[in-house]
Amino acid sequence: MKDKPGNIYQLLRHAMVAQVEMGVGELIINRKNVKKTAAPPAPIATPVTAGESDLFASESHGPAAVQYESVEAHRRAICECQLCPLGATRNKFVYGAGNINADLMFIGEAPGADEDRLGEPFVGRAGKLLDRILAAIQFTRDDIYIANILKCRPPGNRDPLPAEEEKCLPYLLEQIHLIQPKLLCALGRVAAQKLLKTTTPLGKLRGRWHDFHGVPMLVTYHPAALLRFPTYKRDTWEDMQLLRAQYDSLR
């Protein structure tokens, strides 16, 4: 169904307001004004080779190795998970949310207090900022999918432990397998370094495309970092323009 003029006006207004909040000097009101990007450079992560069947060729183990018929079937199968101690401390399991047919998927590190309380990803202050970032490039949550590496909140919002990541990462890989996004965006240092299997600082990972099992991945700052360090907003805006341009090139 075609957008009504009022809906288009509202979308552009939200995009312009969000761009101002991101500290943008020159507003972009037409997606075609965003420069198209070149093909993704050589990947940092080792891509899946032609002889490997899918995302799970080297990392699958445990319940998540089973390929489910749908996202909802997968959610139901794992939502009572007790494979690590976080299962005993969580309030709610935070599976993920958004468009299960999305071409673009955002991945964070773990739920926070608000997410643990509500059972949805990115619903606190950082989540509200993420909504404004999405609006700045003319996306809503209905256009994308959002998930975390961990599905349960680590106490005190500490970084995930290696043993927790090991148990939970197959769940994320299954989500990616089911949703089949064409682009990924890692939010923050922990998510980026874990997914790309690197210790390279986030500042050196952002601004270019990486390969994650054959899916192009962009790295940018976590919205929570922007709340603490607003000077990162300019870099994040540059990353989001790169993301939007690559997304539009799929059309």
For every residue of 159-221, which 3-state class applies, written as one string? CCCHHHHHHHHHHHHHHHHHHCCCEEEEECHHHHHHHHCCCCCHHHHCCCEEEECCEEEEEEC
Give all domains of the chain, ordered by start, each with its CATH number: 59-249 (3.40.470.10)
pLDDT of residue 67: 78
pLDDT of residue 42: 37
Tell me the one-letter amino acid at 240. Answer: M
Helix (H) or strand (E) holding 78: helix 71-78
Question: What is the overall mean pLDDT for the chain?
Answer: 83
Q: Is the pLDDT at 144 greater than 70, yes or no?
A: yes
> In this structure, what DSSP letter does residue 26 have?
S
Task: State pLDDT tens for residues 169-220.
Answer: 999 999 999 999 999 999 999 999 999 999 999 999 999 999 999 999 999 9
**CB distance 171 to 182 below 8 Å:** no
Task: State pLDDT tens for residues 113-124.
Answer: 999 999 999 999
Average pLDDT on 75-86 reads 97
- Which backbone phi and psi does 106 adopt, to 5 degrees? -100, 140
pLDDT of residue 13: 53
Written as six digits, the tokens of 219 are 């790295």
Q: Are strands 183-187 and 104-108 parallel, antiparallel or unpaired?
A: parallel
pLDDT of residue 251: 80
Task: State pLDDT tens for residues 98-108.
Answer: 999 999 999 99
Higher pLDDT, residue 222 or 34: 222
Residue 94: CB atoms within 10 A of its CB come to 28
Q: How many degrees, rounded to 5, is the angle at CA 86 between CA 163 and CA 79?
A: 105
Q: Is 246 exposed, middle or buried (0-12, 13-18, 19+ CB in 10 A)?
A: buried
Q: Is the pLDDT at 161 greater than 50, yes or no?
A: yes
- Residues in contact with 191: Cβ distance below 8 Å, sequence separation at least 6, in sequence order: 107, 108, 109, 148, 149, 222
CA 37, 41, 47, 51: dihedral to nearest 10 degrees? Answer: 90
Written as six digits, the tokens of 103 are 């071409």
Q: Is the pLDDT at 16 greater than 70, yes or no?
A: no
Q: Is 119 exposed, middle or buried (0-12, 13-18, 19+ CB in 10 A)?
A: middle
Average pLDDT on 118-140 reads 96
What's the pLDDT band for 231 if we cut at 50, 70, 90? very high
